[in-house]
Amino acid sequence: MSRTLCAVILVLIVLHQDNWYWNDGRLVFGFIPIGLFYHACLSIAAAVVWWWATKYCWPTDSYLAAEEESR
């Protein structure tokens, strides 16, 4: 796993601990509490990170390549 990916995952984990919205009850779009909206956005951010990881940090182990070729 690349160092960049480790760092990005660490950032996601830090962002997950959103102490800044802990006691904030504002509604986003008039119906969704901001704490819930933030974490829903974090789920989308996680998907984007994983898309990036599958594109740029795909494992390069030789045995995986061999298994792909043997198909």
Partner 1 sequence: MTQLWIILGYLALLLILGLFASRFFRGTSSDYMVASHTIGPFLLLMSIFGTTMTAFALVGSSGEAYEEGIGVYGMLASSSGIIHSLCFFVLGIKLWGFGKRYGYRTQIQFFRERLESSGIGLLLFPILVGLVIPYLLIGVISSGVVIQNMTAGAFPKLFATESPATSGGIPTQWGSLLICLVVLIYVFLGGMRGTAWANAFQTMVFMLLGIVTFGVIANKLGGQASLWENLRVLGEAIPAEKATRTDMSKMKFFSYLLVPLSVGMFPHLFQHWLTAKSAKSFKLPVIAHPVFIMIVWVPCVLIGVWATSELVTIPPALRSRPNAILPFLVNSQAGPVLGGFLTAGILAAIMSSLDSQFLCLGTMFTHDIMGHYFDHEATDRRELALARGFIVIIVVITYLLSLLKPPSVFALGVWTFSGFSALTPLAFAALYWKRLTKWGAYASVLAAAASWGYFFSDAVGKAVQAGNPEPIRTYSLEVTLGGETYEVMSVAAIFLASVIAMVLVSLVTKPPGEETLKKFFS
| Residue choice 2, 4, 16, 20 for contact with partner 1 (CB under 8 A) | 16
CB 7 → partner 1: shortest distance, Å?
14
| Residue 43: HSE in the Cβ half-sphere, 13 Å Cα cutoff | 5
39 binds partner 1 (CB under 8 A): yes
Calpha distance 45→51 (Å, rounded): 10
* Residues ≥6 apart with Cβ < 8 Å to 49: 8, 9, 12
Contacts with partner 1 by CB under 8 A lie at 1, 9, 12-13, 16-19, 22-25, 27, 30-33, 35-36, 39-40, 42-44, 46-47, 50-51, 53-54, 59, 61-64, 66-68, 71
